[in-house]
Amino acid sequence: MWIAELSRRAEVPVATIKYYLREGLLPPGESVGATRSRYDEAHVRRLGLIRALVESGLSLARVRGVLAAVDEESLELHDLLGAAHGALIPDDIAASAESRRRVDELVEQRGWLVSPAASDRALLAAALDALEKVGHHLDDDLLEVYAAAAQQVGDADVAHLPSADRASTVETTVLVTALGGPVLLALRRLAQQNASARRYGSSHFPAD
């Protein structure tokens, strides 16, 4: 397909596609002349991934890091998924030693096979610190409930990954990681409303 059709299929302006090509975010098409190139379904899929990442709020520099992880063919699939996750997380995360210890203990107690250097350990520790700073201690019992729920979600996420090819598996993982958070957040709030209504006997729906 020509770039105009690629633009229509991916719902991305031609000017933006050309920018992504110049920046190396989108691989070049098949050259069929001095100024024309043909594109295929892989380009449509890549543009969909870029668009989703940009619309999730990531900077182009961060998007570049994610795509570099997606394109790394020398890594085993498990390591590649970890690299893709890492590319979505801020680089310098400050977290207290105490919260890091709690996270490490939780991971060990649950028997999770997680790298000691995983950025998400620091991310979780920083989140615990943020709660502490506003005077709310997330106790171990509730943290364990969260971990159990997260394990169920994580197991389901991986079980539902496409197995057709490596690229689809990694791209789906990145999209679910980048865009799936709001889904879980909305479901949690709906569940909280339900639990509150049942506990406190509400007979009406809360205002939006």
Can you give the pLDDT at residue 167?
Answer: 72
Q: Say if residue 128 is exposed, middle or buried (CB neighbours under 10 Å; 0-12, 13-18, 19+).
A: buried
Q: Which residues contact 121 (CB under 8 A, 6 or more apart)?
A: 100, 103, 104, 107, 114
For the purposes of burial, counting CB atoms within 10 Å of the CB of 113, is it exposed (0-12), middle (13-18) or buried (19 or more)? exposed
**What is the rounded average pLDDT of the residues 27-40?**
87
Whether pLDDT at 43 is above 90: yes
pLDDT (tens digit, 9 = 90+) per residue, 64-73?
A: 888 887 787 7
* Domain spans, the chain: 89-160
* pLDDT tens-place string over residues 119-141: 889 999 999 999 999 999 999 99
Q: What is the structure's pLDDT at 63?
A: 86
The arithmetic mean of pLDDT across residues 13-34, rounded, is 90
pLDDT, tens only, 45-86: 899 889 888 887 778 888 888 888 778 777 777 777 777 777
Does the pLDDT value for residue 147 go beyond 70?
Answer: yes
Query: What is the per-residue pLDDT across 156-170, written as a single tens digit (0 to 9) for each?
Result: 988 888 776 777 777
Q: What pLDDT is attached to residue 207? A: 60
pLDDT of 13 higher than 70:
yes
Is residue 146 scored above 80 in pLDDT? yes
**Nearest CA to 154 among 169, 185, 176, 126?**
176
Q: What is the pLDDT of residue 152?
A: 95
Considering the chain, what percentage of its residues have pLDDT values greater than 90? Answer: 49
Mean pLDDT over residues 184-203, rounded?
88
Structure tokens at 126: 């920083």
